[in-house]
């Protein structure tokens, strides 16, 4: 078998994993902290994609993509914050109702996108500097995919720095470890919830920008990634950011490498089987976390 092809597939695996990381990070954050499964998360990705489309139309040129990321982070973060304050925070003790309510929001957002932008997709024109390939170690690699990996690494690094060195990051870690005690120390846990939900949504918005670079933006664009994003969160250990990152890499590489032998559809089936088998032997996921969600 051609070694170059295998290396190419490994590269693809990392690139797909980067998208999963951006899509799943918000889910992992909100589940770890609040035990909330946000069914509208995929549509927040979709909103990020449409914001990218609008921003790049307004700000053409090489820096348009960065403007799009900032705008998508802000709009998606705001949307997430509003969703948390108006809906999710009122249903926190009723997980099943949260699931249904956020599913309703997801349908509303999809229909809204259909009404505003039409059912057929719109295309985002990537800046010219992304539209290249470069040769590394005898491999021709598309710059877009390298850019996506860099975005995922930057977001993960930024988030780690935020959680480690800011006051709100400290409070998030405290609430995650022991919610009732954090409240008894004067921490406004509701505000921490809202902040982290908004942050997770903002990250999903950046994920949406990245998706827009890979294909047409449709009202259903979030749906195609959200199932795998949920898988990544479960496989990672429900709420562990590190576990989620490792899980995204595992699934991304598994999908890409299995495509050496089988076609894409079968690779997806095999990746589901892989997750099921993995959880049979390690039900707690890659990294077992003691968070509020799992203590109860």
Partner 1 sequence: MSDLLNLRSVSAAYGNGQVLWDVAFDMKGGEAATVLGRNGVGKTTLLKTIMGQLPVSGGHVYIDGEDVTAMSAHMRARAGIGFVPQGRHVFPHLTVTENLEVGLSALDRKSHTGPKRVPEMVFDLFPKLTQIAKRKAGVLSGGEQQQLAIGRALAGKPSLLLLDEPTEGIQPNIVQQIEDALLRVRTELGVAILIVEQNLDFAWSFADRYFVMQRGRIVKDGKTAEDPVETVAHLVHV
Residues forming the site for partner 1 (CB under 8 A): 167, 170-171, 173-174, 177-178, 180-189, 290
Give the chain's largest Cα–Cα span: 61
Radius of gyration of the chain (CA): 19
CB 211 within 8 A of CB 45: yes
Q: Which is closer to partner 1, CB of 16 or CB of 182?
A: 182
Q: Which is closer to partner 1, CB of 114 or CB of 173?
A: 173
Question: In DSSP terms, which residues pair with 142 in a beta bridge?
Answer: 133
Minimum distance from residue 167 beta carbon to partner 1 (Å): 8
Q: For the beta carbon of residue 202, count every other beta carbon within 10 angstroms.
A: 27
List strand residue ranges (DSSP E) for the chain, in order: 133-136, 139-142
Minimum distance from residue 247 beta carbon to partner 1 (Å): 20
Q: Which is closer to partner 1, CB of 3 or CB of 184?
A: 184
Minimum distance from residue 112 beta carbon to partner 1 (Å): 35
Minimum distance from residue 23 beta carbon to partner 1 (Å): 26
Q: Which is closer to partner 1, CB of 114 or CB of 191?
A: 191
How far apart, in whole angstroms, are the C-alpha atoms of residue 258 and residue 270?
Answer: 8
Whole-number Cα distances in Å, 17 to 60, 80, 140, 256, 289: 28, 23, 19, 10, 21
Minimum distance from residue 170 beta carbon to partner 1 (Å): 6
Q: Which is closer to partner 1, CB of 127 or CB of 236?
A: 236
């Amino acid at each position: 078998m051609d070694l170059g092809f295998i290396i190419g597939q490994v590269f693809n695996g990392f690139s797909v994993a980067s998208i999963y990381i951006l899509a799943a990070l918000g889910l992992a954050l909100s589940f770890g902290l609040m035990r909330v499964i946000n069914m509208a998360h995929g549509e927040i990705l979709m909103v990020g994609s449409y914001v990218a489309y609008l921003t790049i139309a307004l700000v053409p040129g090489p820096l348009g993509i960065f403007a799009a990321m900032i705008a998508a982070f802000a709009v998606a973060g705001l949307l997430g914050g509003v969703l948390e304050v108006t809906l999710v925070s009122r249903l926190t003790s009723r997980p099943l109702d949260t699931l249904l309510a956020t599913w309703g929001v997801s349908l509303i957002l999809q229909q809204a996108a259909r009404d505003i932008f039409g059912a057929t997709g719109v295309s985002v024109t990537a800046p010219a500097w992304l539209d290249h390939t470069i040769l590394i170690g005898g491999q021709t690699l598309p710059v877009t995919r390298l850019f996506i990996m860099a975005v995922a690494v930057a977001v993960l690094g930024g988030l780690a720095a935020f959680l480690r060195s800011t006051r709100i990051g400290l409070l998030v870690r405290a609430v995650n470890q022991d919610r009732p005690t954090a409240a008894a120390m004067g921490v406004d846990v509701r505000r921490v919830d809202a902040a982290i939900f908004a942050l997770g949504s903002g990250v999903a918005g950046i994920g949406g920008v990245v998706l827009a670079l890979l294909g047409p933006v449709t009202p259903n664009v979030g749906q195609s990634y959200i199932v795998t994003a949920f898988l990544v969160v479960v496989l990672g250990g429900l709420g562990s950011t590190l576990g989620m990152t490792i899980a995204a890499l595992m699934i991304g590489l598994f999908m890409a490498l299995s495509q050496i032998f089988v076609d894409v559809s079968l690779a997806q089936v095999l990746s589901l089987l892989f997750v099921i088998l993995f959880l049979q032997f390690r039900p707690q996921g890659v990294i077992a976390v003691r968070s509020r969600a799992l203590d109860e």
